[in-house]
Structure 1
Amino acid sequence: MNDSLDTRKLEREVKNIYRDVAETPTEEFHFETGRELAERLGYQPAELDRVPTDATASFAGVGYHFDLADVQEGDDVLDLGSGSGTDAFVAALYAGETGSVIGLDMTDEQLEKARALRDEAGMSTVSFERGYVEELPFEDGSFDVVISNGVINLSPNKRRVFEEAGRVLTGDGRLVLSDVISERQLPESIKTDADLWAACIGGAEQIDRYTATIEDAGFELQEVRNNDQYEFTSDQATNACQKYGVKSASLVARVR
């Protein structure tokens, strides 16, 4: 955990950015949003056609991992940092009527939008709850699959996130995520800047440390792949990508 980072400021900055992603997704951010991004990352048009249009408009993920997740009919799925609900809705297509999906988010505007879209679409197996990825409000062994997309890099305590994911997973459960990582360790000047964290840059962990943290939390890593189709859009973000190898990767890990 980064003790020199102003975590209260970070939370405010993250909520402000993702409030705007929910309410005005066509604004310019450090990152892309929308259906065009989702399709380029690997989401299938047939999947997205069955997801509320306003959810995909606010899509701000960094990769596609549903092929790795292999969500089956009847699975119970948790989406960490569910935003306006794109991934939760896609997961529900695979989990079917006998499965369930819970999206967890800390931003009220995202939750309000996701719940309204869920109700409009009549997707009764999907629910959205307010909470923090470091303190999951669920019982041990509640889920078969935990997914997350572009969120864990925003947490100043990644080890805690992975430990909590392991706790709420069943004995043979799997963690599947896409996230922003780096090839080289970022300098303190970036890692202590709440604005750069909120922009999905400052919290990018060096990939070897990131995967080691997952394994230390009780997981066996099964596959890691780069998402070459993901790009940041602002000059500030692009410079960090070039200098420190900040990029997107997807992975799957199973509970040991």
Structure 2
Amino acid sequence: MSESLDTDKLERKVKSMYRDVAEFSDGEFHFEIGRNLAERLGYDPEDLSDVPNPAIDSFAGVGYHFDLAAIQPGESVLDLGSGSGMDLFVAGMHVTETGTVTGVDMTDEQIQKARKLIEENGFHNVDVRHGHIEALPFDDESFDVVVSNGVINLSAEKERVFEEAYRVLEPGGRLALSDIISESQMPESIKNNENLWGACIGGAEQVDRYMALIEQAGFEVTDVRDNTQYEFISDQAVNACQTYGVKSISLGARK
């Protein structure tokens, strides 16, 4: 992490952007959101038919990884950066009534929206907690599966995120995520740009470094694939992608 990066300012920017995603699903962002994006990334339309529409409208994920997660009925699942709840509801259907799904997010408006949708739609096995993914408010070995979609790149302390994910997983537990990485190291001018952090670009880790952080936390990476269906839409974001190989990947790993 760059010493010149103001992490407090960064967190305020990220919260502001994702507050807007929660409240203004028809707004203009560096990235696409909503149902068309979800289906293009690989979400099953049949699964989406059981997800509350407001959660789909605010979906800002960057890939699909539920096949890698291989969630089974009765398992406990944690979603890092759960937003308005899209992946919470999908996971809730996979674990069935015998399992549980917990989300953690730092943006109040996202949490409020997700909790409202959980209550209104009777997802009794789904819950959301306020917190930071670098310091999870859960006991050791609490979950069978940890998932995350387009969120870890937003953290300035990615090594702590992976260490925490490892800590809260049961032995043999699985990590399945989609995230934004870069093929080459980006300059400080991009790494220190709060707008590009909020757009999931400024915080994109160089791919070899990203994989090393996961393995250093103790995980064995089992699957990695590019999400060629994902693309940024603003000129500033597209230019960064073309210059530094910024792209979406999905991966699976095991504790």
TM-score range, shorter chain: over 0.9
Map 1:231-242; keep pairs closer than 5 Å: 231-242=231-242
Shift of 1:237: 0.1
The TM-score normalised by the length of structure 2 is 0.99
Shift of 1:3: 2.2
Q: Which runs of 5+ in 1 are unaligned?
A: none
After superposition, the C-alpha distances for 1:183-204 in whole angstroms (9 at most, x for unaligned) are 1111111111222111111000
Shift of 1:211: 0.5
Name the counterpart of 1:76: 76
Q: Aligned equivalents of 1:248 and 1:167: distance in 2?
A: 25
Matched position secondary structure for 1:222: strand
Q: Aligned equivalents of 2:151 and 2:112: distance in 1?
A: 19
Shift of 1:178: 0.1
Letter in 2 for 1:45: P
Name the counterpart of 1:118: 118
Q: Aligned equivalents of 2:3 and 2:101: distance in 1?
A: 34
Runs of 4+ in 1 over 4 A off after TM superposition: none
With 193-202 and 24-33 compared, the bigger mean Cα shift is at 193-202
With 190-199 and 94-103 compared, the bigger mean Cα shift is at 190-199
Q: Aligned equivalents of 2:189 and 2:217: distance in 1?
A: 28
Q: Aligned equivalents of 1:131 and 1:32: distance in 2?
A: 25
Matched position secondary structure for 2:210: helix
Letter in 2 for 1:132: H
1:2/1:157 contact within 8 Å kept:
no
Map 1:5-20; keep pairs closer than 5 Å: 5-20=5-20
Shift of 1:120: 0.8
Map 1:1-256; keep pairs closer than 5 Å: 1-255=1-255
Identity of aligned residues (%): 66
Shift of 1:61: 0.1
Letter in 1 for 2:201: I
After superposition, the C-alpha distances for 1:68-95 in whole angstroms (9 at most, x for unaligned) are 0000001100000000000011001011
After superposition, the C-alpha distances for 1:34-86 in whole angstroms (9 at most, x for unaligned) are 01100000000000000001000000000000000000001100000000000
RMSD between aligned residues:
0.6
Shift of 1:4: 1.6
* Count of matched residue positions in the alignment of Structure 1 and Structure 2: 255
Matched position secondary structure for 1:175: strand
Q: Aligned equivalents of 2:122 and 2:64: distance in 1?
A: 25
Q: Aligned equivalents of 1:162 and 1:102: distance in 2?
A: 17
Q: Which runs of 5+ in 2 are unaligned?
A: none
Matched position secondary structure for 1:172: strand
Q: Aligned equivalents of 2:95 and 2:4: distance in 1?
A: 41
Q: Aligned equivalents of 2:185 and 2:176: distance in 1?
A: 23
Matched position secondary structure for 2:249: strand
1:7/1:194 contact within 8 Å kept:
no
The TM-score normalised by the length of structure 1 is 0.99
Matched position secondary structure for 1:82: coil
Q: Aligned equivalents of 1:43 and 1:56: distance in 2?
A: 11
Letter in 1 for 2:71: V
Q: Aligned equivalents of 1:75 and 1:5: distance in 2?
A: 38
Q: Aligned equivalents of 2:3 and 2:72: distance in 1?
A: 40
Letter in 2 for 1:49: S
After superposition, the C-alpha distances for 1:217-246 in whole angstroms (9 at most, x for unaligned) are 000000100000000010000000000000
